[in-house]
Amino acid sequence: MEKVLGNPRIVALAIALILVAGLGALQNLPRIEDPNMSNRHATVVTRFPGASAERVEALVLEPLEQALREISEIEHITSTARAGVGSITIELGDEIQGNESEALWSEARDKIRQAQALLPPEAGEPVLDSDRSYAFTWIAALVWQGEGNNIDVLSRHASELASRMVNTHGTAQVELYGQPQEEVRVDIDPVKVASLGLDAKAVSQYIARNDAKVAAGELHNSHHRMSLEVTGAYNRIEEIRYLPLLTNDQGVSLQLGDIARVYRHETDPASDYAFVGDKRAVVVAVRMLSDVRGDHWTREIEALANDFAAELPAEIAIQELFVQERYNDQRLGDLMDNIVLGFVMILLVLCLTLGWRSALIVAAALPLTTLFSLACMRLIDLPIHQMSVTGLIVALGIMVDNAIVMADTVMRYRRDGFTAVTAAAKAFRHLWVPLMGSTLTTILAFMPMVLMPGPAGEFIGGISLAVIGSLIGSWLISLFIIAPIAGRFLSGSQRQGIAMPGLANWFSRTLSFVLKFPRTAIAFIFLIPVLGFMQGAKLPEQFFPVSDRDMLNLELFLPAAAGIEATLAASKRVSETLGKQPEITGVNWFVGRSGPSFYYNLMQGKDGAQNYAQAMITTTDFRAANALVKELQQQFDREFPEYQLILRRLEQGPPADAPVELRLIGTDMERLKSLGEEVRRLALGTRDVVHVRASLGEVVPKVWLDVDPVKSRVGGAAPTELAAKLQADLSGVSGGSLLESTEQLPVRVRVEGISAVAVDELELLPITLRNGPRPLMALADAELRPAQAQITRRDGMRVNTIQVYIRDGVLPSVVLGRIKSRLEAEQFAVPPAYQLQIGGESENRDKALSKLLSSVSIIAVLMLVAVLMAFNSFRFSLLIFVVAGQAAGLGMLSLSLTGFPFGFTSIVALMGLIGLAVNAAIIILAELKTNPRAMAADPAAIVSSVQSCTRHITSTTITTVVGLLPLILDGGGFWPPFAVVLAGGTALATILSLYFVPAVFLVLRKPYLLTLLARRQTVVDNDEEYPPEKLAVNQ
């Protein structure tokens, strides 16, 4: 070892290797704001025009769900049936990691294709979309700036821009929002068509038969092969308008244009709208691949958009709505500033506690260890994001611990007269096992976050991985770099920082007093962490706090019967209110469906919801956003009582539709509705509840036709044929298509104006029968009745989900507790065979906590092994575990003193704290074991040994706390609780360990002292014999 540590070239090469590997990783690692989570959610959407929610449930959802349940990796299947559309959300189990989900989505598509044969012929093809779990990276809108509203021109240019962006390197997905679906519409005159004995379906079939877009075969001979095609495909709209329907003997033909209006138009009603401000737009949302650098990709995308904008007409502008890279720069820039600030603060502390020369040597470990950790991140494909960078910040104060101990030990050997190389080698041999033990215990304390499956584990796991990489690097660098450098540049005569003889004397006196009454001191010290546990039990629970974003998410719900035009009008009214707020810089509406996800945990599940709209609101800064939420929510409730408007800040953690959810599961629809209404009433009367939604709570008007069987038989129109005729007349029927360049527009035939008539006018609709046209009232009577707006299911059972939205700033756990109390007070109970489940944040938190704690028992055993390797004593190992338990109580005490809620990040910090807090106890025990007099239970020797290691204990503790100060001072609700637990718990645990560990040590060693004095013989311990003067080696 002397040859390695004494060779400066090897040390220089090691430093160069770390520099090259770390800087290369810094240059090439992807940079994102938040961690990428595995894609465990997919949505299956199936259109079934004209079908009621009950028919969609029975004929579409049940067959598809049954097929999907054959995939064992699927954890939950939730579905919603609405009139004309059914959607299924698939959730995979947390054990599915990384790209494993892609094979499962492929298997799900196969199952859906097999089940499609069981669906009605009128149902469309089920479409599985597995790309909704990710947020988009760049969102922009094409807006018409001139007079009028040429949405069709915007649509074509948006499609061209999307096609260019999808071919850009690093692009994963491009999606258009608010793009109109155009068609060639044939509006037939019902009277004229009926007089000819035709109807919409017959006209559509005739148009389709004359659209020759089919192959006519091939001609083959011995030399050539030629394809054959018949002319007649529709390439111009006039070809459809002048299509002859009937021709008389004189050759005069009746053309389609004589009985119908033929024109190009947007589908009516529109499937969705997008508005930027008060202008209609087509939004282009782009997502990049996870393994590319966001800054490079964004520059390329913006350059492409600028070049494309130069080609656009003057009336069209491209307006950026959201650029993720700007938030990446801000977040990572702030965290990098925290790293620099922490480095400077730690260096100042080291100069004060160790002296400037030792401080510079120890501080050299900071950049080297950080670069080593970055190199490790590249090896395991861990991107640079706020979690991994925070891990580096947390590790700042930890990564110098080994270096401090090593430098202090080398200086002590140099002071004893050893040469530089010998001092480094002796320190290496003396410390490599104890330092490895303390490093392993800290690593193991952070391992549950690494092993934790699911989205919560993927979200916070980067912290632990970065800390673990830093700890490994710190251990290796302190042994192979710091030791030889300290031996070369520290002579042992340098000043060791600021001397505080008064404080040292006070500590010596207080410790001596504690050792006079060790059992009393132990009991008293135990009271402090117990107090922490008691206070922690009173803290309100929280999963993840809100994000510090300058954006807000607004959802608008109208009654289920509302059409998309009514929803659009409502969104414009709300926009007028939002426009009066000077802090709001942008309002972008998406009507009829969920908008593009601009945050990693926003849910996109509102397909075909004409009564729904979502707004992406941008403010001047996050403080303005935080201030506006409560004020605007109250204003919305006052000004728009007929709507449900839910304004929320963006929140961290796994996705949830509502902060508080209660699920009623059963079979009978009416029973579920009545139970849900009772729960909804109690929840709505709970303090701090703003809105409550029940998934089975609404009905829609529906017209029922009571068909006279005798008249329908005489007219030759069976009920199914009558339904088909009405479907064609009201909604239209497609036949043929118009081909313009690469764009193909469907041709839809419908009865002109019939979709907007009143119920009484519907009865006058002429129906073509075998004996001529007759009004509908001649065959059936119309009656208006209520129908279920939607039917929701979960894992094959009907479910009524009660979603509770709460006032901003109030914790969901608090409101959930109040609702539970009200349910108990009202003696609410579900009948047999029905269930009441808790969802929302509470379910996510409990699930994540159980996953986090699932590996704790294994980790505890491994920690015990690591401590046993260092001390070779079960008693001392048990003492370390007692200190770890005390640290958890002290961390909770620190949290309660600052007033933060007990969130998931606090739990993560507690687990990391256990590894940090025991380091002081390990150092004290290691020092006591090297002193034979201390091992013989001599109180004076115990005081002397403890006092000899207080300098580097206090130095490492202060550096750990100081390294976390930037996170505490940074503000917000995410990092301060995490840092407070770590910093406060480490500081308090270290202070108590300086008294608790010596007191317990004295109590444990007294029996050996009595045996020594009484028998004066060899002491037997650990099944081996040692003379008393060497007792310290093994006890």
Mark whether 509 and 479 lie in a shared domain: no
963 closest CA partner among 250, 562, 433, 363 = 363
pLDDT at 282: 95
Q: Phi and psi for 64 in degrees, rounded to 5? A: -70, -40
pLDDT at 817: 93
Mark whether 970 and 1033 lie in a shared domain: yes
Structure tokens at 244: 């002859």
pLDDT at 756: 57
| 262-289 pLDDT tens trace | 988 888 888 899 999 989 999 999 999 9
Q: Phi and psi for 215 in degrees, rounded to 5? A: -70, 145
Contact 950, 987 (CB under 8 A): no
Least confident range of 27-41, 353-367, 860-874 = 860-874
- The domain tally of the chain equals 5
**Mean pLDDT computed over every residue of the chain:** 86
C-alpha 716/C-alpha 721 separation (Å) is 9
pLDDT at 868: 79
Please indicate, yes or no, if residue 401 is contained in any of the structural domains.
yes
Least confident range of 149-163, 427-441, 816-830 = 427-441
C-alpha 390/C-alpha 961 separation (Å) is 14
Mark whether 522 and 489 lie in a shared domain: no
Mark whether 531 and 561 lie in a shared domain: no
Within 256-359, strands assigned E span: 260-266, 273-276, 279-288, 316-323
Alpha helices in 594-655 (DSSP H): 622-639
Burial classification of residue 102, based on how many CB atoms lie within 10 Å of its CB (0-12 exposed, 13-18 middle, 19 or more buried): exposed
State the pLDDT confidence band at 655, using cuts at 50, 70 and 90: confident
CATH code at position 435: 1.20.1640.10
**Span 874-880, mean pLDDT?**
85
pLDDT at 1: 65
C-alpha 61/C-alpha 844 separation (Å) is 26
pLDDT at 645: 95
Q: Phi and psi for 248 in degrees, rounded to 5? A: -90, -175
Burial classification of residue 437, based on how many CB atoms lie within 10 Å of its CB (0-12 exposed, 13-18 middle, 19 or more buried): buried
Structure tokens at 296: 């490079």
State the pLDDT confidence band at 1029, using cuts at 50, 70 and 90: very low
Please indicate, yes or no, if residue 227 is contained in any of the structural domains.
yes
pLDDT at 494: 57
The one-letter code for the residue type at 731 is: S
pLDDT at 1020: 41
Least confident range of 65-74, 595-604, 671-680 = 595-604
Least confident range of 295-304, 601-610, 766-775 = 766-775
Buried b (16+ CB within 10 A) or exposed e, 966-978: bbbebeebbbbbb
Least confident range of 318-322, 655-659, 854-858 = 854-858
Contacts of 1022 (CB under 8 A, 6+ apart): 872, 873, 1034, 1035
Structure tokens at 638: 């006052």
Chosen domain end from 223, 249, 266: 266
Whether the pLDDT of residue 331 is over 90: the answer is no
| 29-65 pLDDT tens trace | 988 888 888 888 999 999 998 888 999 999 999 999 9
Q: In the 3-class helix/strand/coil scheme, how is 669-693 assigned residue by residue?
A: HHHHHHHHHHHHHHHHCCCCEEEEE
Within 921-1031, strands assigned E span: 1019-1021, 1024-1026
Mark whether 574 and 638 lie in a shared domain: yes
Mark whether 398 and 427 lie in a shared domain: yes
| 516-537 pLDDT tens trace | 998 999 999 989 999 999 998 8
Contacts of 811 (CB under 8 A, 6+ apart): 540, 541, 542, 901
Structure tokens at 290: 């996870």
Mark whether 874 and 970 lie in a shared domain: yes
Burial classification of residue 946, based on how many CB atoms lie within 10 Å of its CB (0-12 exposed, 13-18 middle, 19 or more buried): buried
C-alpha 654/C-alpha 777 separation (Å) is 55
Are β-strands 182-188 and 743-751 bridged in parallel, bridged antiparallel, or unpaired?
A: parallel
CATH code at position 83: 3.30.70.1430
Please indicate, yes or no, if residue 158 is contained in any of the structural domains.
no
**Would you give the end-to-end CA distance of the chain in angstroms?**
28
* Cα atoms in the 13 Å half-sphere on the side-chain side of 209: 8
pLDDT at 149: 75
- Residue span of the structural domain in which 464 resides: 1-30+355-493
C-alpha 268/C-alpha 730 separation (Å) is 12
Contact 119, 477 (CB under 8 A): no
Question: Helix 856-871 and helix 420-451: axis angle, to 10°?
Answer: 160
Contact 637, 584 (CB under 8 A): no
Mark whether 895 and 1035 lie in a shared domain: yes
Whether the pLDDT of residue 615 is over 90: the answer is yes
**Span 808-836, mean pLDDT?**
92
Peptide linkage before 269 cis (omega within 30 of 0): yes
% of the chain residues with pLDDT over 90: 38
Mark whether 553 and 515 lie in a shared domain: no
Chosen domain end from 207, 234, 266: 266
Q: Phi and psi for 971 in degrees, rounded to 5? A: 85, -175
Identify the bridge partners of residue 664 per DSSP, sorted by sequence position. 800, 836
| 902-951 pLDDT tens trace | 888 888 888 888 888 888 888 888 888 888 888 888 889 999 988 888 87
Coil, strand or helix: which one is 179?
Answer: coil
Mark whether 417 and 565 lie in a shared domain: no
pTM of the complete model: 0.84
Instruction: Specify the DSSP class assigned to residue 830.
Output: P
User: Where is pLDDT greater, at 216 or 427?
Assistant: 427
CATH code at position 200: 3.30.2090.10
Whether the pLDDT of residue 1011 is over 70: the answer is no
Least confident range of 151-160, 488-497, 887-896, 942-951 = 488-497
Please indicate, yes or no, if residue 751 is contained in any of the structural domains.
no
CA distance readout (Å), 991 to 105, 528, 899, 920, 997: 54, 12, 22, 9, 10
Mark whether 26 and 67 lie in a shared domain: no
| 690-700 pLDDT tens trace | 999 999 988 88
Please indicate, yes or no, if residue 152 is contained in any of the structural domains.
no
Mark whether 531 and 563 lie in a shared domain: no
CA distance readout (Å), 947 to 622, 944, 951, 952, 961: 49, 5, 8, 10, 21
Least confident range of 496-500, 787-791, 971-975 = 496-500
pLDDT at 1028: 41
Burial classification of residue 992, based on how many CB atoms lie within 10 Å of its CB (0-12 exposed, 13-18 middle, 19 or more buried): buried
The one-letter code for the residue type at 186 is: V
C-alpha 418/C-alpha 480 separation (Å) is 18
Instruction: Specify the DSSP class assigned to residue 600.
Output: T
Structure tokens at 2: 């002397």
Structure tokens at 816: 């959930």
Is the sign of the CA dihedral 849, 850, 855, 857 positive or negative? positive
Please indicate, yes or no, if residue 100 is contained in any of the structural domains.
yes
**DSSP notation for 236-252:** SHHHHHT-EEEE-TTS-
Please indicate, yes or no, if residue 153 is contained in any of the structural domains.
no
The one-letter code for the residue type at 223 is: H
Chosen domain end from 266, 295, 313: 266
Please indicate, yes or no, if residue 175 is contained in any of the structural domains.
no
**Span 665-673, mean pLDDT?**
93
